Structure 1
């Protein structure tokens, strides 16, 4: 048995950033990650930083903090996060009215500019002008998901933090039974070969967070989609922008499947609440590789199987309509779980009615919002008051 002040479960961007910030505050922190190489939603993300997309005072503040954070982060972590600014093109398909689509973006902190087909093709020559009736454009940030996560992990270990490659199989519980009739408390985690005890356990397990907590009898309103994408090796072809559709079907799927009415069904495997969505987009990284996506499926079983051959064909057909040069590039299909919440805001803080366990998950824009919120949450754990962290507490759903 080993004891720590904090045990963080999950070594993606959320767990890596939070572990680093906790270590900065002087907490003895253990980061537990199942895989020795980066996998999951962090690995297969576009890693975009949509600073422009705040719609409330809260999200505007967080995105502005994120922008400043990323400008300084490479120096702080002593690594190149590959941070850059690039043009985002939100393509408008031929079945839509560009002016009407543009009004859907009028509530954002920085309103994307509506441009013609010709202007869009000047910005991104690989676009198929026959497939769109216009586009919206705005500048936003971008990083390498692998580089920034590795940078956080290395900085964490330099501060004395400990990383163990181990699969967490359960939670150590005390209380709430005849022998110990006091409030239930989580005092540690079980892995396949060890038990680790800690003052606090923090779940940063992304899309698997819900099912992991459910297996311990702990409900939480975090959900997941099965996301699929294609990744090419480095190619000579040059994609200048991040291209995604202006009408993202995935966002609507998340909104309609995270209601309280479906809560019980989420705990039953085998449900598919809505047909899968396919949002054809692409981003090229600094090493020349391109990620093409994405299919999103709302399946209540985190281990559900999907047909990679059919998915790859569907993604290639759709990206071929918008960016024909990408359709037949050699690429590998990948699948992961992506976490989301019932209100587009992450769940951060103590899980109600159970002592000793916290969650840091459900980020809609993780690469933008995780760095500032990891810092805020670590400060909060250290005893500092933070009204933003209080607003993001899982307890906000207690009456819903």
Structure 2
């Protein structure tokens, strides 16, 4: 069964680069390479590897992906001092470089509107002011004064103020900042074509196991309809499947963790919204705090951050996150309950939005706690790499993908620059 599937008997875009043993052809020093995952991380890394002349295939299972549920924001000015700041600040130039090589991928200018409600007490007001000062401090390093604008609260902008906001007599507010985004609807259509044009082979099948061999790696693919699974061989493998990484290599660092993310896909938003086509997010988002305390959780915890962003011809509304105890993904939450929680949270800001018809979708995603994303070689597994656990992926992935590609191709200087996949003190 190994060679038969690889010659095109299964769901594969192009099998021309696979020899009769099911192995990728090519003699480049760092290849051949199989990237598991064809979302934002896997797709951009595959483009960079192909640009270095390495033979590359991406393997991606069917089903919903995490990238289309992202708001696509590029927080390029928001990196804390250190390597994150330089990587994130370079993100717009990396996206422009990618589009110059591969055609439009959805990059477009936009504003970010941060909103906050009336503070319930002095402590809440102090916290809001502290976070606001922090955000403005980060932004002013890169943005001009005209790109930071304070405004009134969003509550009631669609003609339906909540009772809490009315009692607060207009307290709360918004901050509009210069930003950038990648339209994930455009990217989802453009990226597969860019991969084909770059000579990257794409297999639409799920990987069940990976095993080291004397000369590289053996990937066993899940069988369709109860048949016998197929096998793919490669010299190097990159785990870029987000929440699917640990199931393939359980000994990844414990700081790689997972959550269930959800959003409501709607066709339109009320035209009266003052935010226009900006990305809207809460100043005090709950997801970072939930991820920070993930190691202390005893039971699953669900939060909802109220915001929205354009996506293709529609919009993404709200962001739900469920994190469970431990480092395993855990079962998905009841989508009906999670959608209800999301709509209730949105109703607290703008009831008109909560009533919009739409389709709720949830997918598993990865994050790291503590520390930087996992980008580098996997300890004790020669030829195995990981590219996962991003916060702010649309800013970090395009900056780190060229470095990881160079490291895979054998550049020691690039390898030394990467955040790495080795355990960190206290993080496993």
Task: Provide the TM-score with structure 1 as the length reference.
Answer: 0.84
Unmatched 5+ stretches in structure 1: 176-184, 263-270
Offset at residue 174 of structure 1 (A): 4.0
Number of corresponding residues: 372
Asked if 1:82 is matched to 2:142, the reply is no
Residues 389 and 115 of structure 1, relative CA distance in 2, 3 Å threshold: farther
Asked if 1:248 is matched to 2:289, the reply is no
Unmatched 5+ stretches in structure 2: 1-20, 25-31, 142-146, 223-228
* Residues 254-295 of structure 1 deviation map (CA, whole Å, 9 limit, x = unaligned): 11224xxx6xxxxxxxx75463222111112351x1111212
Q: Distance in 2 between matches of 1:399 and 1:249?
A: 24
Residues 110 and 212 of structure 1, relative CA distance in 2, 3 Å threshold: farther
Q: Helix, strand or coil: the match of 1:48?
A: coil
Q: How does 1:37-52 map to 2 (within 5 A)?
A: 39-52=64-77
Considering only aligned residues, what root-mean-square deviation do their CA atoms show, in Å? 2.8
Asked if 1:202 is matched to 2:232, the reply is no
Aligned residue among 245, 253, 257 for 1:223 = 257
Q: Distance in 1 between matches of 2:232 and 2:259?
A: 30
Asked if 1:105 is matched to 2:139, the reply is no
Q: Distance in 1 between matches of 2:360 and 2:102?
A: 31
Structure 1 moving runs of 4+ over 6 Å: 124-127
Aligned residue among 2, 23, 32 for 2:59 = 32
Residues 329 and 272 of structure 1, relative CA distance in 2, 3 Å threshold: farther
Offset at residue 71 of structure 1 (A): 3.0
Aligned to 1:133: 172
Contact 2:158 2:270 survives alignment (8 Å): no
Task: Provide the TM-score with structure 2 as the length reference.
Answer: 0.78
Aligned to 2:307: 281
Q: Distance in 1 between matches of 2:417 and 2:425?
A: 14
Q: Distance in 1 between matches of 2:374 and 2:255?
A: 8
Contact 1:16 1:152 survives alignment (8 Å): yes
Asked if 1:355 is matched to 2:368, the reply is no
Residues 10 and 168 of structure 1, relative CA distance in 2, 3 Å threshold: same
Contact 1:126 1:324 survives alignment (8 Å): no
Contact 1:47 1:142 survives alignment (8 Å): yes
Q: Distance in 2 between matches of 1:399 and 1:328?
A: 45
Contact 1:55 1:107 survives alignment (8 Å): no
Contact 1:348 1:389 survives alignment (8 Å): no
Q: Distance in 2 between matches of 1:283 and 1:128?
A: 21
* Residues 209-235 of structure 1 deviation map (CA, whole Å, 9 limit, x = unaligned): 123321xx5555311111121111246
Q: Helix, strand or coil: the match of 1:76?
A: helix
Offset at residue 157 of structure 1 (A): 1.8
Aligned to 1:62: 87
Q: Helix, strand or coil: the match of 1:27?
A: coil
Q: Helix, strand or coil: the match of 2:135?
A: coil
Contact 1:188 1:201 survives alignment (8 Å): no
Asked if 1:232 is matched to 2:266, the reply is yes
Offset at residue 383 of structure 1 (A): 2.6
Contact 2:99 2:105 survives alignment (8 Å): yes
Offset at residue 350 of structure 1 (A): 0.8
